[in-house]
Structure 1
Amino acid sequence: MAKTNPFQFMQQVRSEAGKITWPSRREVMLTTVMVFVMAALTALFFFIVDLLIRTGLTVLLDLVG
């Protein structure tokens, strides 16, 4: 790998940094809302699964005991 001097390195860094495209405010807000929606849906899913498992085990243990 070829070594570059610090000046060339900084030029390359500035050149690459100029290629960055930042998301718009609308895109950031939309993706933030989507993350919260998906987190809520995931929490709801696991709550329902937990409720079903707990109910099933309670019924099963009542039958046995």
Structure 2
Amino acid sequence: MARVNPGQFVRQVRQEMAKVTWPSRKETTISTVMVFVMVFLAALFFFVVDQILAWGVQLIFGLGG
């Protein structure tokens, strides 16, 4: 790989940064809300599965009340 001097490197970085398309505020907000919704649904799913497994273990081993 060829060595690039610092000035050339900075120019290349600026050229690449100009190609980046940043999300709008609306897109960022929607993505953030969707992440929170998916986290909530995953937490709910694992809570339900955990409760079912705990109930099954209590049923099998006769532990708890």
Q: TM-score, normalised by structure 1?
A: 0.87
Give the number of equivalent residue pairs: 62
The percentage of counterpart residues that share the same residue type is 53
What's the C-alpha RMSD, in Å, of the aligned pairs? 0.9
- Secondary structure of the residue aligned to 1:2 is coil
2:18 corresponds to = 18
Q: Which runs of 4+ in 1 moved over 2 A?
A: none
Q: What's the offset of the Cα at 1:25?
A: 0.5
Q: What's the offset of the Cα at 1:46?
A: 0.5
Which is bigger in relative contact order (C-alpha 8 A, separation at least 6)?
2
- Secondary structure of the residue aligned to 2:19 is coil
Q: How does 1:54-65 map to 2 (within 5 A)?
A: 54-62=54-62
- 1:25-63 CA-to-partner distances (Å, cap 9, x unmatched) read 11101110110011011001111111101111111122x
